[in-house]
Amino acid sequence: MEGDISMKKIVVAVDESEESMHALSWCLGNLSSQKATAAANTSTSLVLLYVKPPPPLHSSYDAAGYMFSKNDVVAAMEKYGNDMINSVMQRAEAVYKNFNVNANVNIERVVGSGDPKDVICNAVEKLRADTLVMGSHGYGFFKRALLGSVSDYCAKHVECPVVIVKHPDHK
């Protein structure tokens, strides 16, 4: 239909790593370079997805001989988690401001909690993303085998195309 604006949704997984910020830069660079050739009737929603780890479960709140109340520990962990979210999103916003991205790009911020590979896959499905962009930590074969790779897992389990951006320092 003439005049309809089609929406393209790109999810970029961001965290505190340089690799994720490089992947965001790569994505924004591609959006910037496409603006001249993009149709005026295409709008892009860029979703910055941050996954905070679930709080660890401890049975003892005794550290270095001091007793802490459960509420103190939970409050401190919540504050740390919120500070981390704000820090990552501020860094992502700073990266975004360095690019001359067209006005048809809408930035959304989404925060999930849990195992990153599961949260990312679920968010991509729920958001009906057209593309998932992730950074690569550049782990070698053995480290990937021991630790697993979030990007490898997501590439195998999401329905949309996945772009894994390798940091230039990881050769």
Asked if residue 27 lies in contact with residue 107, where contact means CB atoms within 8 angstroms, the answer is no
In the chain, where the domains are located: 6-166
Does the global pTM surpass 0.75?
A: yes
Q: Determine the CATH number of domain 6-166.
A: 3.40.50.620
Asked if residue 162 lies in contact with residue 155, where contact means CB atoms within 8 angstroms, the answer is yes
Q: Indicate the residue type of 10.
A: I
Determine the pLDDT at residue 132: 97
What percentage of the chain reaches a pLDDT higher than 90? 43
What percentage of the chain reaches a pLDDT higher than 70? 73
**How far, in Å, CA of 65 to CA of 3, rounded?**
68
Q: What pLDDT band is residue 3 in, cutting at 50, 70 and 90?
A: very low
Determine the pLDDT at residue 71: 73
Phi, psi of 19 (to 5 degrees): -60, -40
Q: What is the mean pLDDT of residues 91-115?
A: 85
**How far, in Å, CA of 44 to CA of 139, rounded?**
31
Asked if residue 61 lies in contact with residue 122, where contact means CB atoms within 8 angstroms, the answer is no
Does the pLDDT value for residue 25 go beyond 90? yes
